[in-house]
Amino acid sequence: MSQTPTILIVPGWRDSGPGHWQSLWAETIEGAVRVQQDNWISPTRSAWVGRIAETVLAQDGPVVLLAHSLGCIASTHLPPEAVARIQGALLVAPADPDRRAPLVDFAPVPYHTLPYRSVLVASSNDPYCPVRTAGAYARSWGSEFVRLQNAGHINIDSGFGAWPLGLALLQSLVETPLVFKAATPATSTHFLELQTV
């Protein structure tokens, strides 16, 4: 696909609030589209997957998914017509729906190869998904696996704002340079040890 893809931001359970890297990127990446769910608190798989698919299909061309937490899992449940429009995906801190009762409708997690390039970023101490489980997701989905040390759920609570490393990973999935509405988000002061596996 030669057309510049739309960056499609897919938040997780309870949405990504102000200051979260997803929210900052939504405000600064030119043409980025954010998926809006009707119920962020009590998610159901059919509603969430349906809304993501609807948003993918509403774009004029290919999309690159930028998913966090439950958004990663919901994205792996997408129907074929939506999957066909996806050029790549950055999957950050995927949830483990078997570990939290409100998310159980998203289990079982699909264990099949994704037909597009994907990068999965996980933390060694994510309270919502053991890094071993995230690694199993990456292997089954065919994702490149980036393991961060002691990065929690890779959100505001664990010190992540603009997250320039994530922005670089996103850029690696997009063939053309990302265009920003304003200056690139300021470099985060939160230092992480990065280990690629």
DSSP, residue by residue, 2-18: -SPPEEEEE--TT---T
pLDDT of residue 141: 98
In a domain, 136, yes or no: yes
In a domain, 57, yes or no: yes
In a domain, 65, yes or no: yes
pLDDT of residue 195: 31
Q: Which structural domain range is residue 190 located in?
A: 6-196
- Is 142 exposed, middle or buried (CB count within 10 Å of its CB: 0-12, 13-18, 19+)? middle
Residue, of 188 and 6, whose pLDDT is higher: 6
User: What angle (nearest 5°) sits at the alpha carbon of residue 42, between those of residues 41 and 47?
Assistant: 110
Phi-psi region of 99 (alpha: psi -120 to 50; beta: other; left: phi over 0): alpha
**For residue 148, pLDDT beyond 50:** yes
In a domain, 88, yes or no: yes
pTM listed for this prediction: 0.91
In a domain, 188, yes or no: yes
**For residue 191, pLDDT beyond 80:** no
In a domain, 124, yes or no: yes
**For residue 121, pLDDT beyond 90:** yes
CATH code of residue 132: 3.40.50.1820
Find how far residue 175's CA is from the centre of its chain.
Answer: 18
In a domain, 1, yes or no: no
The pLDDT tens digits of the residues spanning 13-59 come to: 999 999 999 999 999 999 999 999 999 999 999 999 999 999 999 99
In a domain, 51, yes or no: yes
**For residue 186, pLDDT beyond 80:** no
Look at the chain and report how many structural domains it folds into.
1
Are the CB atoms for 135 and 97 separated by under 8 Å?
no
DSSP code at position 29 = B
Q: 183 pLDDT band (50/70/90 cuts)?
A: low
pLDDT of residue 182: 64
Rounded to an integer, the average pLDDT of 65-91 is 98
